[in-house]
């Protein structure tokens, strides 16, 4: 009996020890998109923050905002700071998943941030863009984005697209002849969604769908696809660091923001504010451009940006010629509906 | 009985300390039972906590949805007086404005929108927009003002839907997982064409599971026979080949298939050189291009590889127990080898076949990661949709309802199986 209780006590202790390592009381859990992007954040923000005497736990996700909602609803929030895109920031804000940001508490000037007034619930950190790319050693340069994605006769082979209606539906409509400024008017109707999906139907069997940002460049590198979409920084990383002969198609690039948001009800809200304030510093945000080609949202960062990276940013003049700006409000409002339609279409 | 009659009436049998024997026996037995119960209680508690309780929660969630009931209490109370024919009265609109203001304050508007959007496609964004604008309304009459915000509030269908969602319990999720919905008048009808997917998904799940079970039986049965009848030394070497993959993680094996199935992968090239790919195309097993990755074929092959030991091992252990004398007897009575095998040997292996097939079939029903990694979007099984409902859509009602469908399908199959084969005939060895 004594032996048994000893074993039990040991098991209990081991259990507690495990639980503590998983989540120490003073550790801030920061969740971002993994891969090259999180690596850039690690170098620019996380490591200096740890060096300043703080503790953080990193986690990765692929934008499953449902996890945040579930945590908030269950009142068991274990993520303290989350990197979200615009539609997630807007939808999460409307559903009460995120804390309202007190800019005074951050000690930052909202007016100095591009996109600072897009939502009340998040602090902009970078501007990224969804783009397509190809392997110059295998594929001839297409005339434009739509030829790359939809002309399967000229470019036989598979295409890697994000498993999400975001940007894909817009591109499909534009490829089908809808003028860029009319896209959201058309997409706002059921017929418009049908039209976009019908256009995607023409390449449905040629598409490999990806969920994590690193998959696009990977599929391209493996020769599994002739064109892949991803976020421009992921291709930049493959070109610069992995020396891949990739080229980005800037035609109809779709820029968007990433934000820092705080899930509602986190017990570490003070630390979360402290971290966001730390990571929104102009110089630190400029430093991030050394590692990835995303534009800092802090206007004061401009002076500190490495000039070598300027042509690779989505905001470079050459890259903006045929830019398409997605409407975050449209996606914040209609994202859920369109995702459901899109998933049903995928499964058919 | 004779003894009891012989003894005086009050002279019950007693133990040394004077308690009646019957009582003492009962007490001792109870103690034994308690001890036995104490021994199984950790497992019992574990099963209740990790199995029974979650299933109950799932059943509850499949029908429980309080988003509208919790956030629109005044509107629902006011709607109780509504006849359902014309538009609701001014009081309903006034209550609606009060509810929406409160919901906007608590950031619950999007939840109302999400819930209503399951039934009226496209209403979510309108509810959110209304939430933003309703704060400006402080003077009655509200009816015209609300309809002016969005004409959807001037449609009886909207209010009928709100009234229908007013109970915290709804058949909505279960119906929609059967590709059905409640019409405005409350009757049940089929979903419009572009929203009908779940019946197909259920058929697909059962179809893939059945195919995988059959294939593992066809491939596994001869191997099991070889294992059971080979000399000990050969058999142990063969057994290693069966067990080694069995001991390897499912994820590792699935990832290995991803590499083999890639367009320039070893397996793909082999299939294409030998002309099997061409044959598969002929039979419509892959989608027309000479590729295997992300096809139904790849899904079935990878699942079959993972499930093979589950079918094979029970058959093998049953075959091990069959005495070779039966076959000898059959042959000595004039049976051809084939006839003896089919009529004498095979029937004896049936309990093992039944066990192996049931195991593989039920495990296959719940497959998620293998179809997700090697299959295409049209090869995803029910579990994949449960994953996407919980992880991407935050639609726990839908996830639970799909879980219930899967549970019911499994129970029905088990019942049919029990009727056909008899669960007591099943042998795992």
| Element (DSSP H or E) covering residue A149 | helix A145-150
Q: Kindly report the average pLDDT of chain A as a whole number.
A: 89
| Element (DSSP H or E) covering residue A135 | strand A122-135
* Same domain assignment for residues B133 and B249: no
- Closest Cα partner for A196 from A322, A57, A341, A94? A341
| pLDDT tens, position by position, A189-237 | 889 999 999 999 999 988 999 988 899 999 999 888 999 999 999 999 9
User: Cα A58 vs. chain centroid, distance in angstroms?
Assistant: 16
Nearest to B110 among A64, A91, A208 (CB): A91
Q: Which residue has the higher pLDDT, B111 or A61?
A: A61
Residues of chain B whose pLDDT is less than 50? 1-7
* Same domain assignment for residues B40 and B77: no
What's the gap in Å between the CA of A223 and the closest CA on chain B?
9
- pLDDT, residue B429, reads 56
For residue B381, which residues of chain A lie inside 8 Å, CB to CB? none
A280 and A108 in contact (C-beta within 8 Å)?
yes
* Same domain assignment for residues A109 and A48: yes
Please, which residues have CB within 8 angstroms of residue A62's CB and are 6 or more apart in sequence?
Answer: A33, A34, A211, A212, A213
- pLDDT, residue B421, reads 72
For residue B194, which residues of chain A lie inside 8 Å, CB to CB? 194, 341, 344-345
Cβ distance A96 to B394 less than 8 Å, yes or no, reads no
* Same domain assignment for residues B223 and B353: yes
A62 and A212 in contact (C-beta within 8 Å)?
yes
Rounded to two decimals, what is the model's pTM? 0.79
What's the gap in Å between the CA of B196 and the closest CA on chain A?
8
> Per-residue pLDDT averaged across A282-300, rounded?
93
B134 touching chain A per CB within 8 A: no
B234 touching chain A per CB within 8 A: no
Cβ distance A336 to B124 less than 8 Å, yes or no, reads yes
A129 and A262 in contact (C-beta within 8 Å)?
no
**Strand, coil or helix: what is A257?**
strand
- pLDDT, residue B135, reads 83
* Same domain assignment for residues B335 and B418: yes
Task: Read off φ and ψ for residue A257, nearest 5 degrees.
Answer: -100, 160
DSSP type of residue A45: I
- pLDDT, residue A95, reads 83
| pLDDT tens, position by position, A17-36 | 444 444 556 789 999 999 99
For residue B378, which residues of chain A lie inside 8 Å, CB to CB? 346-348
Rounded CA-CA distance A10/A16 in Å is: 10
Q: Report percent pLDDT > 90 for chain A.
A: 71
Crossing angle of helices B109-117 and A86-94, rounded to 10°: 100
Cβ distance A190 to B122 less than 8 Å, yes or no, reads yes
- Closest Cα partner for A208 from B178, B169, B376? B376
B35 touching chain A per CB within 8 A: no
CATH number at residue B270: 1.10.3720.10
Q: Which residue has the higher pLDDT, A277 or B266?
A: A277
C-alpha distances in Å from residue B310, one per residue of B234, B272, B320: 21, 30, 16
Strand pairing report for A159-162 and A56-60? unpaired
* Same domain assignment for residues A229 and A110: no
Sign of the four-CA dihedral A90, A94, A99, A102:
positive
| pLDDT tens, position by position, B262-302 | 877 787 778 778 877 777 776 665 555 567 788 888 899 99
B263 touching chain A per CB within 8 A: yes
B287 touching chain A per CB within 8 A: yes
- pLDDT, residue B428, reads 61
Sign of the four-CA dihedral B337, B338, B344, B346:
positive
SS3 content of chain B, % helix, strand, coil (to 5): 75, 0, 25
**Strand, coil or helix: what is B375?**
coil
* Same domain assignment for residues B260 and B321: yes
Q: Which domain holds residue A41?
A: 2-127+257-312
For residue B125, which residues of chain A lie inside 8 Å, CB to CB? 333-334, 337
- pLDDT, residue A155, reads 93
* Same domain assignment for residues A343 and A206: yes
- Whose tokens are 């959807």? That residue is B152
- pLDDT, residue B11, reads 65
* Same domain assignment for residues A205 and A290: no
Nearest to B117 among A94, A194, A337 (CB): A337
How many of the other CB atoms lie within 10 Å of CB of A77? 19
Asked if the structure places residue B183 within a domain, the reply is no
* Same domain assignment for residues A62 and A151: no
* Same domain assignment for residues B314 and B396: yes
* Same domain assignment for residues B269 and B401: yes
- Whose tokens are 């799909």? That residue is B402
For residue A153, which residues of chain B lie inside 8 Å, CB to CB? none
Q: Which domain holds residue B21?
A: 2-56
For residue A94, which residues of chain B lie inside 8 Å, CB to CB? 107, 109-110, 128, 131
What does the block give as tokens for B309?
């030991």
Instruction: Count A/B contacts: CB-CB distance under 8 Å.
Output: 84
* Same domain assignment for residues A150 and A266: no
Asked if the structure places residue B384 within a domain, the reply is yes
* Same domain assignment for residues A232 and A288: no
Asked if the structure places residue B192 within a domain, the reply is no
Nearest to B107 among A70, A96, A334 (CB): A96
**Strand, coil or helix: what is B231?**
coil
Rounded CA-CA distance B418/B429 in Å is: 18
State the alpha helices, DSSP H only, in B62-133.
Answer: 67-71, 73-79, 90-105, 109-117, 123-133
> Per-residue pLDDT averaged across A159-181, rounded?
95
Interface list for chain A against chain B, based on CB atoms closer than 8 Å? 64-67, 69-70, 91, 93-96, 158, 190, 194, 205-206, 208-209, 222-224, 333-334, 336-337, 339-341, 343-348
What's the gap in Å between the CA of B140 and the closest CA on chain A?
27
* Same domain assignment for residues A32 and A174: no
Cβ distance A346 to B377 less than 8 Å, yes or no, reads yes
Cβ distance A96 to B385 less than 8 Å, yes or no, reads no
Cβ distance A223 to B114 less than 8 Å, yes or no, reads no
What's the gap in Å between the CA of A64 and the closest CA on chain B?
5
- pLDDT, residue B157, reads 85
- Domain total in chain A: 2
* Same domain assignment for residues B203 and B141: no
What's the gap in Å between the CA of B90 and the closest CA on chain A?
28
- pLDDT, residue A25, reads 60
A299 and A112 in contact (C-beta within 8 Å)?
yes
* Same domain assignment for residues A121 and A152: no
- Closest Cα partner for B65 from B403, B402, B397? B397
For residue A206, which residues of chain B lie inside 8 Å, CB to CB? 289
- Domain total in chain B: 3
Cβ distance A347 to B391 less than 8 Å, yes or no, reads no
Kindly provide the ipTM of the predicted complex, given to two decimals: 0.74
A165 and A236 in contact (C-beta within 8 Å)?
no
Q: Which of B41, B103, B110, B208 to mutate to test the interface with A (most CBs of A within 10 A)?
A: B110
Sign of the four-CA dihedral A47, A49, A51, A55:
negative
* Same domain assignment for residues B296 and B400: yes
* Same domain assignment for residues B304 and B411: yes
**Strand, coil or helix: what is A296?**
strand
* Same domain assignment for residues A110 and A8: yes
Lowest mean pLDDT among A52-66, A73-87, B116-130, B234-248: B116-130
Nearest to A94 among B107, B377, B392 (CB): B107
B108 touching chain A per CB within 8 A: yes
How many of the other CB atoms lie within 10 Å of CB of A309? 18
| pLDDT tens, position by position, B355-383 | 899 889 999 999 999 999 898 888 899 99
For residue B57, which residues of chain A lie inside 8 Å, CB to CB? none
Task: Read off φ and ψ for residue A208, nearest 5 degrees.
Answer: -105, 125
DSSP type of residue A305: S
Nearest to A66 among B125, B293, B394 (CB): B394
What's the gap in Å between the CA of B197 and the closest CA on chain A?
7
Asked if the structure places residue B98 within a domain, the reply is yes
Q: Give A14's pLDDT tier (boundaries 50, 70, 90).
A: very low
Crossing angle of helices B90-105 and B142-149, rounded to 10°: 60
For residue A341, which residues of chain B lie inside 8 Å, CB to CB? 194
* Same domain assignment for residues A116 and A145: no
* Same domain assignment for residues B163 and B229: no
* Same domain assignment for residues A189 and A327: yes
* Same domain assignment for residues B37 and B152: no
CATH number at residue A155: 3.40.190.10
């Amino acid at each position: 009996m004594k032996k048994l209780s000893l074993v039990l006590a040991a098991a209990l202790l081991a259990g507690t020890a495990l639980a503590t390592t998983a989540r120490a009381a003073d550790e801030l859990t920061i969740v971002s998109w993994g891969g090259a992007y999180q690596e850039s954040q690690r170098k620019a923000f996380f490591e200096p923050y740890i060096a300043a005497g703080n503790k953080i736990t990193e986690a990765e996700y692929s934008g499953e905002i449902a996890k945040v909602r579930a945590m908030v609803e269950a009142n068991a929030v274990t993520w303290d700071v989350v990197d979200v895109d615009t539609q997630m920031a807007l939808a999460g804000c409307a559903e009460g998943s995120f804390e309202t940001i007190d800019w005074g508490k951050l000690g930052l000037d909202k007016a100095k941030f591009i996109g600072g007034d897009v939502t009340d619930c998040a602090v902009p950190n970078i501007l990224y863009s969804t783009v397509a790319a190809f392997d110059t050693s295998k594929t001839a340069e297409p005339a434009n984005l739509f030829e790359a994605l939809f002309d399967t006769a000229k470019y036989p082979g598979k295409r890697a697209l994000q498993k999400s209606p975001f940007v894909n539906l817009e591109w499909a409509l534009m490829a089908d002849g809808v003028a860029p400024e009319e896209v959201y008017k058309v997409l706002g109707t059921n017929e418009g969604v049908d039209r976009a999906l019908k256009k995607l139907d023409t390449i449905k069997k040629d598409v490999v769908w990806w969920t994590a940002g690193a998959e696009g460049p990977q599929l391209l590198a493996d020769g599994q696809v002739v064109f892949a979409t991803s976020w421009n920084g992921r291709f930049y990383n493959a070109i610069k660091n992995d020396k891949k002969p990739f080229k980005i198609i800037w035609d109809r690039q779709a820029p968007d923001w990433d934000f820092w948001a705080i899930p509602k009800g986190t017990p570490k809200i003070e630390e979360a504010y402290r971290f966001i304030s730390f990571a929104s510093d102009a110089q630190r945000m400029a430093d991030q451009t050394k590692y990835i080609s995303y534009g800092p949202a802090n206007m004061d960062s401009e002076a500190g940006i490495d000039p070598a990276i300027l042509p690779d940013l989505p905001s470079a003049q050459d890259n903006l010629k045929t830019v398409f700006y997605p409407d975050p409000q449209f996606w914040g409002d209609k994202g859920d509906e369109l995702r459901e339609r899109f998933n049903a279409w995928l499964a058919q | 009985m004779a003894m009891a009659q012989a003894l005086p009436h009050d002279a019950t049998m007693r133990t040394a300390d004077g308690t009646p024997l019957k009582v003492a026996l009962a007490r001792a037995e109870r103690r034994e039972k308690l001890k036995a119960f104490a021994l199984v209680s950790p497992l019992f508690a574990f099963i209740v906590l990790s199995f029974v309780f979650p299933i109950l929660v799932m059943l509850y969630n499949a029908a429980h949805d309080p988003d509208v009931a919790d956030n629109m209490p005044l509107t629902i109370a006011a709607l109780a007086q509504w006849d359902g024919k014309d538009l609701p009265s001014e009081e309903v609109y006034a209550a609606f404005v009060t509810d929406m203001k409160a919901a906007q304050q608590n950031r619950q508007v999007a939840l109302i929108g999400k819930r209503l959007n399951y039934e009226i496609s496209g209403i979510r964004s309108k509810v959110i927009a209304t939430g933003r604008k309703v704060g400006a309304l402080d003077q009655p009459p509200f009816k015209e003002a609300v309809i002016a915000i969005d004409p959807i509030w001037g449609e009886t269908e909207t209010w009928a839907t709100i009234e229908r969602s007013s109970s915290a319990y709804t058949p909505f999720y279960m119906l929609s997982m059967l590709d059905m919905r409640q019409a405005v008048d409350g009757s049940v009808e089929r979903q419009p064409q572009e929203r009908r997917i779940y019946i197909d998904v259920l058929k697909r799940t059962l179809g893939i599971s059945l195919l995988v079970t059959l294939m593992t039986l066809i491939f596994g049965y001869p191997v099991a026979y070889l294992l059971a009848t080979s000399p000990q030394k050969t058999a142990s070497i063969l057994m290693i080949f069966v067990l080694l993959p069995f001991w390897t993680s499912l994820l590792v094996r699935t990832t290995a298939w991803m590499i083999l199935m890639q367009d320039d992968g070893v397996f793909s090239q082999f299939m294409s050189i030998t002309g099997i790919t061409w044959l598969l195309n002929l039979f419509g097993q892959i989608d027309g291009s000479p590729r295997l990755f992300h096809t139904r074929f790849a899904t079935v092959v990878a699942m079959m590889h993972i499930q093979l030991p589950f079918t094979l091992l029970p058959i093998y252990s049953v075959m091990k127990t069959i005495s070779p004398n039966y076959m000898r007897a059959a042959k000595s009575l004039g049976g051809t080898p084939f006839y003896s095998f089919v009529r004498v040997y095979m029937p004896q292996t049936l309990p093992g076949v039944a066990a192996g097939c049931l195991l593989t079939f039920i495990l296959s029903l719940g497959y998620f990661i293998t179809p997700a990694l090697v299959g295409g979007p049209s090869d995803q099984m029910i579990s994949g949709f449960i994953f996407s409902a919980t992880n991407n859509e935050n639609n726990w009602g839908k996830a639970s309802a799909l879980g219930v469908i899967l549970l019911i399908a499994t129970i029905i199959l088990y019942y049919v199986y029990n009727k056909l084969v008899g669960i007591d005939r099943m042998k795992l060895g």
